[in-house]
Amino acid sequence: MYRAQLVKPNEPLVFSETAIPDAPDGGIVVKTKFTGICASDIMMWGDVVSLGEGVSINLSDFFYKFPITFGHEIAGIVYSIGKKQPAGSALNLGDPVVVYSCRGCNTCGYCAQYAPNKCAKRLGGNYGIGTPGGYATFVSVFNAQDVLKLPDVVPLEVGCMLGCAGLTSYGALDSIKPLLENIVKLEGETSLLITSTGGLSAWCYQIARAFLPKKTKIVISSTSEGRLERFCKIHRCDDKVLWKDGASVADLVALTKEKGLNGGFDAVLDMVGTPQSTNIAYQSLRPNGTMVMVGLRGGTGSYPAPDISMWSKEIKGSLMGSREQLKKLITLVAENKMTCPPISYFKLDEINEALELQKKGKIEGRAIIQFD
């Protein structure tokens, strides 16, 4: 098989040939057709995450060793099936599938609940991080239950994005759905702010519209006026707010709260994860509101401790979702015939060019590797 691997941080990926793996017992080998290029791939390419205030960590000190094969948004067809398949597995050769990329320890309570995304040891084993992923023509998946068949109405290039961009959005939205349902029951309406107009937010908006109570006002924010206008034209957003460069945080908070209902937002999904985005997002919450941290840009947020307790606000993180949530997401996408964000296609041989463009913010929507 043909693959691209990172041997050293910030250097071009290296191409090599190796044997196609045999399907492991209980597992599947997937012939890759499409692999998404995620923003977290750029983070791993540099190997550094900023924690703010001059503190950073090297991901390779905790989660993986070089060389690594990126790619955790994987869709393809079943190439080979191992012996000793788990009960209930009904995959056949040639089936179109998406790979659930989270690998836990398989011994803790979260893994027993099919939620390895919450396992304390998850990141080191995830496909495309500690386990070879989809920047290769074939991927060996050790548990056939992590290979989910796609319905005919969900194309493979859409399917690959569901494994991370879609699932990350679904998992975050699922965590606030009970809150918003209760607000609608109490007040008749509610509002949600989604920061950013990137490919992740494109999925988030569509899933939110199909998944949350119909009386939810969904507002999109962005620092780019052009991208904000295009995003809202495509998705027919309820409302939008431009976070202009140079404006004070106080002014941006005031402007943002005006777009919410009854003085602000009951929930905010911060898909960016910078000090500015989290600061504005938190201050835009109403009492009893929840901010969900999704983006990984880096930095340190600062929030007044008494405000959190006095107004019963909540701050929490969300990483992808469970395998069962991915199954529900696939059904939701199929039933609602969701459209994917704009796609830029690359061959595997063009991966270094694609990573550079992604790093510089030159790709609008999503970048995907297309295999022959």
Hey, is 63 helix, strand or coil? coil
Give the pLDDT mean for 363-370. 92
State in words which class domain 2-149+342-370 has. alpha beta
Hey, is 146 helix, strand or coil? helix
pLDDT-based confidence at residue 97 (cuts at 50, 70, 90): very high
Hey, is 19 helix, strand or coil? coil
Domain ranges across the chain = 2-149+342-370, 168-317
Other beta carbons within 10 Å of 151: 12
Compute the half-sphere exposure of residue 86: CA atoms within 13 Å on the CB side of its CA.
Answer: 12
pLDDT at 342: 87
Give the pLDDT mean for 348-357. 96
pLDDT at 59: 85
pLDDT beyond 80 at 124: no
Hey, is 145 helix, strand or coil? helix
User: What pLDDT digit, counting tens, does each position of 64-93 carry?
Assistant: 889 999 999 999 999 999 998 887 788 999
User: What pLDDT digit, counting tens, does each position of 147-185 carry?
Assistant: 999 999 999 999 999 999 999 999 999 999 999 999 999
Alpha-carbon distance 144 to 50, whole Å?
36
pLDDT beyond 70 at 123: no
pLDDT at 61: 85
User: What pLDDT digit, counting tens, does each position of 255-314 carry?
Assistant: 999 999 999 999 999 999 888 999 999 999 999 999 999 988 877 888 888 999 999 999
Give which of 369, 207, 361, 192 is closest to 270, Cα–Cα.
192
Q: DSSP for 222-269, please give it.
A: ES-HHHHHHHHHHHT-SEEEE--TT--HHHHHHHHHHHSSSSSEEEEE
Longest dimension (CA), the chain: 62
Give the domain 168-317 fold: Rossmann fold (3.40.50)
Alpha-carbon distance 1 to 15, whole Å?
11
Q: Is 166 left (phi over 0), alpha (psi -120 to 50) or beta?
A: alpha
Whether 122 and 104 have beta carbons less than 8 Å apart is answered as yes
Give which of 74, 68, 2 is closest to 37, Cα–Cα.
74
- Assess whether the region 2-149+342-370 and the region 168-317 belong to the same CATH fold: no
pLDDT-based confidence at residue 142 (cuts at 50, 70, 90): very high
